[in-house]
Chain A
């Protein structure tokens, strides 16, 4: 999942 950094970040952000 390394390639999908933006999605990963968006899902981890609480807001």
Chain B
């Protein structure tokens, strides 16, 4: 309940009009959205029960490691309702395969569709999406961990919430199935980060400072 209550409202894209080149404009719009999503995610993470009980060092490590996974849960969640094969980055930023391809995001499109289809088939609920986002952060396998006991408690609390929720729906296998989707989520996030790093080098897309900082931790 707490995760749902604090789940941030979806952001809208601010369409970039600084260039006539549509693929560049798409990338700039996407990066701006990503930066704002990241800010909101950090604010949200602080409200996840147990997060503030972690040391500041661990809070930073978890976010630096798991931010893209958490954000992609949102993209996959928003995209699962679409009839077409669009990725819904925001209500007003829906990209199909051709648009992604022309923006240099073909590999990202493919990876994100794979993830989206997986969640689409499971009919992910809002509760599950919120839980997965929190679990992705908590489970980001940072090394070294400053305070392992607090991290373990944080993870256990989220796990327990997920089990309770699925038990209330009398869905015996769903919690396990969701957790089994985490490797694909990580793989997809890795692709997304690689794509961003590549775009930054190739096109010299100006990235916001926070986004650069988070990418820097991944590079």
Contact = CB atoms under 8 A, between A and B. Distances in A.
Interface of B is mostly: helix
A4 B42 contact: no
Interface residues of B, number: 16
Interface residues of A, number: 10
Contacts of A3: 213, 216
27 contacts: A1-B57, A3-B213, A3-B216, A4-B60, A4-B64, A4-B213, A4-B216, A4-B217, A5-B213, A6-B209, A6-B213, A7-B42, A7-B60, A7-B64, A7-B210, A7-B213, A8-B56, A8-B60, A10-B39, A10-B42, A10-B43, A11-B42, A11-B46, A11-B56, A11-B59, A11-B63, A12-B56
Interface of B: 39, 42-43, 46, 56-57, 59-60, 63-64, 209-210, 213-214, 216-217
